[in-house]
Amino acid sequence: MSQRLTSAVAALALTGACLSLTAPPTRAQEVTLTVHHFLSAKAVNHAEMIEPWAERITEASDGRIAFEIFPSMSMGGAPPELFQQVRDGVADIIWTVLGYTPGVFPHAEVFNLPSVHTGSALVTNLAIQDLMDGPLAADFEDVHPLLVHVHAGQALHTTDVAVRSIADVQGLKLRVPSRSGTWMIEAMGAEPVGMPVPEVPQALSQGVLDGAFIPFEVALPLRVIDIAKHHTELAGGHRFGTTTFLLAMNKDRYESLPEDLRAIIDAHSGEALAREAGRVWDAVEPRVIAMAEARGNEVIYLDDAASAPFLDAFAETEARWLEEMAAKGIDGEALLAAAKAAVARHDHERPTP
Question: Please, what are the domains in the chain?
Answer: 3-150+243-282 (3.40.190.170), 155-241+297-349 (3.40.190.170)
Write down the pLDDT at residue 10. 42
- 3-class SS of residue 100: helix
How much is the pLDDT for 130?
98
Helix (H) or strand (E) holding 76: none
Mean pLDDT (the chain, rounded): 91
Q: What is the mean pLDDT of residues 108-125?
A: 94
Longest dimension (CA), the chain: 63
Q: Is the pLDDT of residue 25 over 70?
A: no
- Percent of the chain surpassing pLDDT 70: 92
Q: Are 143 and 165 within 8 A, CB to CB?
A: no
Q: Which of 12-16, 183-187, 208-212, 221-225 has the lowest mean pLDDT?
A: 12-16
Query: Is 158's pLDDT higher than 50?
Result: yes
Which of 99, 106, 113, 102 is CA-nearest to residue 319? 113
Whether pLDDT at 116 is above 70: yes
d(CA 193, CA 28): 50
| pLDDT at residue 330 greater than cutoff 60 | yes
Categorize the per-residue pLDDT at 194 as very low, low, confident or very high, splitting at 50, 70 and 90.
Answer: confident
Give the global pTM.
0.86
Q: Which pLDDT score is estimated for 28? A: 61
**Helix H segments across 79-145?**
82-88, 121-131
- Least confident range from 26-35, 142-151, 254-263: namely 26-35
* Strand 244-249 to 144-150 pairing: antiparallel
Partnered with residue 149 across adjacent β-strands are 245
For residue 146, name the pLDDT band (cuts at 50, 70, 90). very high
Whole-number Å distance between alpha carbons of 193 and 294: 29
Which residues in 120-154 are b (16+ Cβ under 10 Å) and which e? bbbbbbbbbbbbbeebbeebbeebbbbbbbbbbbb
- Report, as an integer, the average pLDDT of 30-59: 95
Distance CA 222, CA 211 (A): 14
Residue type, 172: L
**Is 166 or 22 the better-scoring residue by pLDDT?**
166
State yes or no: pLDDT of 248 exceeds 70. Answer: yes
Query: Quick one: pLDDT band at residue 11, thresholds 50, 70, 90?
Result: very low
